[in-house]
Structure 1
Amino acid sequence: MKFRWTSVAWSIAYLLLLLSLSTPLLLITTLFMIIPAVVLFTTLNTKQFIVHVLPILLIVGLITPIYPVIAVYFLIPALVMGRFYKKRASAMSTLLAGTVTILGEFLLLLLLGTALFNFDLSSYVNDVLQMVTSPLSQLGTANPLISDLNFTSEDVNKISIMTIQMIPMTLIVSSFMIAVITHSIVRPILNSMEYAVPKLKPAREWRLPRSFIWYYLLGVIIQLLFSGSDSSYMTMISANLLPLLRIGFMIQAIGFFFFVAHERKWNKIIPILLAIPIILLPPLRIIGIIDLVFPLRAFVTKSKR
C-alpha cells in the first residue's frame, strides 16, 4: 500500500511538471522533468509503470497535442537511468548512460530539425544576436559615452561563429548537469523508499585518467596551429575540448583538497572552502594538473606517516 500511494503521488507530480511547460516556470521545471519517471520506472514493474504513465499522457494530450511528444522525449532518458538503477549499476555508469542518452536526443533533435524543417542553426543564432545587439548599437550611437556598445555586422558574425563552435560543449555540459541533478534527487528518494542504489564515490576519490594530460596537450597544439586559420572543424575541436578538460582539472583539484582533508583529519568545511577559489579562479586548476602528473597524494600519505 505504501508503494501504491507513493507511486500515485509521483504520478501527480509528473503531471504537474508536464503542465508547467505552459508557464514561465518551464526553464526551471525542465531540469526536473526526468525525476518522477525515473522513480516510477525504478520502483514499479513494466505493467504498473504503463498504468501510471498512460493516463498522464492522455490528460496532457487533451490539453495540447504536443505535450505527449515532449513527455516521451523526457521519458527515454528516464527509462535508461531507471534501467541502470534496477540493475544496481554504479552511480557513474548511471550518470554516463543518462548523459549519453540526453546528449543523443539533443543531437537527434537538431538533425530532425535540419532534415524535416530546414532549420539552420547558424542563421538562427545570427538572427538572435542581431536582434539582441541592434538595440545596444542604437543606444551606443545615441550616446557617445557608451559608443563601445556599437556592434557591426562583422562583430555579430564573429560572435555567432564562436557561439556555434561552443555548442557541442554546451550540449555535453547541459546533458551531464541534467543527469547529475536527476541522480542527486532520485537516489535519496529511492533510499527512503527502501530501494537502495549505489552512490557516487566520495570526493576524495575523484581522479581523472592520466591520459587526459595528453588530450589537453593535443588540444593546445591544435589551438596553436589552427588559431586564425580557415579550418573551422579543427578550431571547433579545440574550442570544445580544452574547456571540457579544464573543468575536469578543476574537479581533480577539488578531489585533491578533499583527499588531503581526509588524510589530515581536517574539518569537513575546509575542503569546501578551498574548492571555492578553484571555481572562481580558473587558473588554479593547475593544482589538478599537477596532481594528475605527479603522485601528490602518495606524498601526502607518506608525509602523514
Structure 2
Amino acid sequence: MKMRWTSVVWSVVYLLLLLSLISPLSIVTVFFLILPATILFATLNFKSFLLHVIPVWLIAMIVHPVNLLLAIYFVIPAIVMGRAYKNKAPAIRTLMIGAGTILAEMLVLLLIGTVFLNFDLSSYVDDIVKMTTSPLRDVGGNNPLISDLAWTAEDLQILSNATMQMIPFAMIISSFMMAVITHSLARPIIESTGFHVPKLKPAREWMMPRSLIWYYLIGVVIEMFARSSSNSFLIMIAANLVPLLHICFMIQAIGFFYYLGHTRKWHPVIPLLIAIPILLFPPMRIIGILDLAFPLRQFMTKSKR
C-alpha cells in the first residue's frame, strides 16, 4: 500500500503513545501501545513500515533513551499480530499468539532482570505493598479509634506473599487484555482500509473446551491440599489456576445467554445486560460450568420446541 495520510496519522499516534510511557498516563496508554504499530505493519509492506516507525523511534529516543528499548519491546507483538492479520489468520488464533508473545516477553524480561541485573521481584513487591498501604498505616497509627485496625508487619508480609503468588495470574490477564484491546480496535480500522480481517465468532457461538471441567476439578483438589501445605509452588498453582478457570467459565456463561437470546429472539441488549451481573457476581459462573458439563444449550432449544 502506498503511503497515505492515515499512515502518517498513526505514526504520530504511535509517537505520542511512546512518549506517554515516561508520564503518569503510562498506566493507561501502555494497553494501547501495540495498536499503531500493528495497524502500520498490517496495512503497509515491510519497507514502508520501517520508513514510518524508524523516525518515530529516533524522536522518542532523543526525548529519552529508554523509549527506544520500550519501542522495540512493544513492536514485537505488534509485528506478530500484524503478520497474522496479513495472513488472514482466525481471530482467536491472532489473539492467542498476540497474548502469548506479550507473556513470553514479560517472562524473558523478568529472567534477564533477575539473572543479569540482580532484580529481586520479591523485594520489589514488598516495597510496592508498603508504599500502597502506607496511608492506611499512618491513619491507623494517628487515630486511636481505629488503632486496632492498623496494619502490622505480619499483615504486610501476608499481603506481600499473596501478591507475589498472584503475579503469574496478573501477567496472563494483562497480556490477554492488551491483545484483546489491540484486536478490538485494530480489526475495524484495518477493515476500513480495504483489507479483510477475520473477526471473532459471535458470542452465542463461544464454547470453551470441555476438558476445562477436568482441569477445574484438579485445580479444586490442588487448592484443598494447598490450604494445609507449606509448599510455595503448590500454593502458587492453586492461587493462579482456579481464578483463570473461573474467568473461562464466566465467558462460557456469557456465551450461553447470548445463545439463549438468539434462539428465543430476545432484544440484543438483554444478553448484554445479563453479562454485567455475571462479571460483577462471580458465582454466576456456575452457569458456564453447567453449560460445559451438560448439553444445556441443546436442552434449552428442545424445551422451546
- Bigger CA drift: 135-144 or 115-124? 135-144
C-alpha displacement of 1:136: 2.3
d(CA) in 2 for partners of 1:18, 1:63: 10
Which amino acid letter does the alignment assign opposite residue 44 of structure 1? L
Q: Which residue of 2 aligns with 1:180?
A: 180
The answer to whether the Cα contact below 8 Å between 1:139 and 1:149 also exists between their aligned partners in 2 is no
Q: Which residue of 1 aligns with 2:230?
A: 230
- Bigger CA drift: 89-98 or 14-23? 14-23
Q: Secondary structure at the match of 2:4?
A: helix
Which amino acid letter does the alignment assign opposite residue 218 of structure 1? I
Unaligned runs of 5+ in 2: none
Q: Which residue of 1 aligns with 2:151?
A: 151
C-alpha displacement of 1:259: 0.2
Q: Which residue of 1 aligns with 2:298?
A: 298
Q: Which residue of 2 aligns with 1:197?
A: 197
C-alpha displacement of 1:135: 4.0
% identical aligned pairs = 60
Q: Secondary structure at the match of 1:196?
A: coil
Q: CA 1:26–1:214 in structure 2 vs 1: closer, same or farther (change >3 Å)?
A: same
d(CA) in 2 for partners of 1:36, 1:218: 41
C-alpha displacement of 1:167: 0.6
The answer to whether the Cα contact below 8 Å between 1:169 and 1:244 also exists between their aligned partners in 2 is yes
C-alpha displacement of 1:267: 0.5
**In the TM superposition, what whole-angstrom CA distance separates every residue of 1:9-55 from its partner, at most 9, and x where no partner exists?**
11111112112223322222111111110011011111111111111
Q: CA 1:302–1:45 in structure 2 vs 1: closer, same or farther (change >3 Å)?
A: same
The answer to whether the Cα contact below 8 Å between 1:136 and 1:149 also exists between their aligned partners in 2 is no
d(CA) in 2 for partners of 1:4, 1:135: 51
d(CA) in 1 for partners of 2:216, 2:187: 33
Q: Which residue of 2 aligns with 1:9?
A: 9
d(CA) in 1 for partners of 2:128, 2:146: 22
- Bigger CA drift: 96-105 or 275-284? 275-284
- Bigger CA drift: 228-237 or 70-79? 228-237
**In the TM superposition, what whole-angstrom CA distance separates every residue of 1:221-240 from its partner, at most 9, and x where no partner exists?**
01111213111101100110
- Bigger CA drift: 281-290 or 176-185? 281-290
The answer to whether the Cα contact below 8 Å between 2:42 and 2:82 also exists between their aligned partners in 1 is yes
- Bigger CA drift: 276-285 or 176-185? 276-285
Q: Which residue of 2 aligns with 1:99?
A: 99
Structure 1 runs, 4 residues or longer, greater than 4 Å off = none
Q: Secondary structure at the match of 1:209?
A: coil
Written as runs of structure 1 = structure 2, the 5 A alignment for 1:1-305 is 4-305=4-305
d(CA) in 2 for partners of 1:126, 1:66: 25
* Cα RMSD for the two superposed structures: 1.4
Q: TM-score, normalised by structure 1?
A: 0.96
Unaligned runs of 5+ in 1: none
C-alpha displacement of 1:174: 0.3
